[in-house]
Amino acid sequence: MTTDRRPTARLGSLLAALAIAGGALLSGLPAHADEPSGGATAKATGEAPKVDLVLDVSGSMRAADIEGKSRISVAQQSLNEVIDALPPETDFGIRTLGANYPGDDKAQGCLDTKQLFPVGKTNKVEAKTAVATLRPTGWTPIGLALRGAAQDLGKGETTRRVVLITDGEDSCAPPDPCDVARELAAQGIHLVVDTLGLAHDDKTRQQLLCIANATGGTYTDVRTQEQLTDKVKQLVDRSVDTYTVTPTKTAGTDTCATAPVLTPGVYSDREKFSEHRVYRVPVQAGQELRASVSVSVDRAVARDYGVLLQATSTAGQELVRGTDAGSGRTDVASTGLRWSASMTSASPTASASASASPSGAARTDVCLVISNSLAPQPGVAADPGLPLELTVDLAAASPAPDGPAMGLGHGWILLLVLTLAGLLTGLLFGWIARWRIAVWREN
């Protein structure tokens, strides 16, 4: 018995035609606002992100109290993993303190800080070899090492990061490391110092918190090798994400009427525990406001906290909000929001905040309110406030769901195409099945 295969061939042709038609229909839709229309987005040009890691190699790093391993071996293993994962665009260097002078002369030992690997493009084999040669030796001149790290990184318009790993407080002051951190911050050289403590006594913790707070950095109390590795990688990645724009310092207020007016850009500020800080952004007709905030939880805080970012009218009506919650570990809480006039139905309250710009276009003043429900753990200093970074952008407003695309959202069009294709395919398969049964009965 022979079977006519023409219906099957017709089916294949019809399905191909449906696929082509569906693709042509979907290709005619305007691109989504979040999708780049010209391929990969070009990275902003500028100087390379720079990170200098300052490693304590003093005698106390011999202590074997991190998961049964010595502090120095944990640091070395973590650094190996960090070096392997370095982004290619990052200029990375390593400075040591207490690594070279083995004697008892404190005056001499307190000068012991040296650049182990220069800040620049990293030869990973050479960097890992240099780290492997380190042996715990001397004193702990943290203040002097921070000054040396600032020189290693040089000056420029973008933020530079120092990542300090130590297991104790400075044993060589003066200079006091907190004073050095304040001195570096006052120079305006865009230097941020993040501190990681391998020991857990109060004096060390307070000193490392002070250093981080003075420069807008973060402090982490390290308990495991995995935690150390992950945190250093996070800090290196953060330098890559933020180095192209140096945040502009601003100061939010407690009311929208007195709030600073922000244009698109990146801003830094400090917010006290359980505080509200307000900023104002003028949004023109046809624009969409996009804002995000990151609050650095740089000291020990109570568990179950949250960060809230609200967009409100000048009369206090909430337009949209974004939230993030944390569990108490030292980290960063981040959230964001998007708003345009088309997202809010007209109301007396909303229209009360609208005005006309000099060009005649309608403008709405949107108030950005940053709040937190953070509380310090007992004995933790409340001042200065927590570092925050606010990003503000204005883009062309996305079309409303009932916009010009055939009166339907893009998702509905796709659903319609798929439904139609499924219906026709089902009818064809049913017709072919009935035809095959008829042929079989005739034979």
Answer yes or no: do 206 and 102 share one domain.
yes
Return the number of other C-beta atoms located less than 10 Å from residue 330's C-beta: 20
Q: Look at residue 8 and tell me if it is in a domain.
A: no
The confidence score (pLDDT) of residue 12 equals 44
State the residue range of the domain holding 253: 249-396
Residue 22 to residue 134: CA distance in whole angstroms? 63
Cα separation values, 3 from 14, 245, 433, Å: 20, 70, 13
Q: Look at residue 40 and tell me if it is in a domain.
A: no
Q: Look at residue 274 and tell me if it is in a domain.
A: yes
Q: Look at residue 11 and tell me if it is in a domain.
A: no
Q: Give the pLDDT band of residue 429 (cuts 50, 70, 90).
A: confident
160 within 8 A of 153, measured Cβ to Cβ: yes
The confidence score (pLDDT) of residue 222 equals 92
Among the listed residues 430, 431, 426, 435, the one whose alpha carbon sits nearest the alpha carbon of residue 15: 426
Q: Give the pLDDT band of residue 241 (cuts 50, 70, 90).
A: low
Residue 242 to residue 159: CA distance in whole angstroms? 8
Two tokens, residue 224 = 């495991």
Query: Phi and psi for 378 in degrees, rounded to 5?
Result: -55, 135
The confidence score (pLDDT) of residue 57 equals 96
Answer yes or no: do 264 and 374 share one domain.
yes
101 pLDDT exceeds 60?
yes
Q: Which of 196, 222, 242 is the last residue of a domain?
A: 242
Among the listed residues 323, 310, 324, 322, the one whose alpha carbon sits nearest the alpha carbon of residue 366: 310
Answer yes or no: do 290 and 231 share one domain.
no
Q: Give the pLDDT band of residue 411 (cuts 50, 70, 90).
A: low
The confidence score (pLDDT) of residue 424 equals 82
Two tokens, residue 273 = 């525990």
The confidence score (pLDDT) of residue 348 equals 37
Q: Look at residue 375 and tell me if it is in a domain.
A: yes
Q: Look at residue 305 and tell me if it is in a domain.
A: yes
The confidence score (pLDDT) of residue 300 equals 74
Answer yes or no: do 332 and 284 share one domain.
yes
Answer yes or no: do 358 and 312 share one domain.
yes
Q: Which of 22-26, 74-78, 112-116, 218-222 has the lowest mean pLDDT?
A: 22-26
- pLDDT for 166-199, tens place per residue? 999 999 999 999 999 988 887 867 788 999 999 8
- pLDDT for 189-235, tens place per residue? 778 899 999 988 889 988 998 898 788 788 888 999 999 999 999 88
Q: Which of 224, 242, 260 is the last residue of a domain?
A: 242
Q: Give the pLDDT band of residue 165 (cuts 50, 70, 90).
A: very high
Answer yes or no: do 132 and 92 share one domain.
yes
**Helix/strand/coil (H, E, C) string of 199-244?**
CCCHHHHHHHHHHHHHHCCCEEECCCHHHHHHHHHHHHHHHHHHCC
The confidence score (pLDDT) of residue 224 equals 93
The confidence score (pLDDT) of residue 418 equals 77
Looking up residue 369, the CATH number of its domain turns out to be: 2.60.120.380
The confidence score (pLDDT) of residue 333 equals 80
| pTM metric for this prediction | 0.55
Residue type, 392: V
Answer yes or no: do 216 and 105 share one domain.
yes
Q: How many domains does the chain contain in total?
A: 2
364 pLDDT exceeds 50?
yes
Two tokens, residue 244 = 């192209």
Q: Look at residue 255 and tell me if it is in a domain.
A: yes
Q: Give the pLDDT band of residue 246 (cuts 50, 70, 90).
A: low
239 within 8 A of 90, measured Cβ to Cβ: yes
Q: Higher pLDDT residue, 64 or 44? A: 64
Answer yes or no: do 275 and 332 share one domain.
yes
When the pLDDT of each residue in the chain is averaged and rounded to a whole number, the result is 80
Answer yes or no: do 257 and 227 share one domain.
no
DSSP character for 342? G
Residue 215 to residue 421: CA distance in whole angstroms? 60
Burial of 180 (0-12, 13-18, 19+ CB in 10 A): buried
19 pLDDT exceeds 60?
no
Residues 6+ apart with CB under 8 A from 37: 31
92 pLDDT exceeds 70?
yes
Q: Which of 362, 377, 396 is the last residue of a domain?
A: 396
Among the listed residues 261, 258, 146, 304, the one whose alpha carbon sits nearest the alpha carbon of residue 210: 146
Answer yes or no: do 195 and 326 share one domain.
no
Answer yes or no: do 232 and 285 share one domain.
no
Two tokens, residue 155 = 């000056």
Q: Look at residue 335 and tell me if it is in a domain.
A: yes
The confidence score (pLDDT) of residue 70 equals 95
23 pLDDT exceeds 50?
no
Looking up residue 69, the CATH number of its domain turns out to be: 3.40.50.410
Answer yes or no: do 258 and 235 share one domain.
no
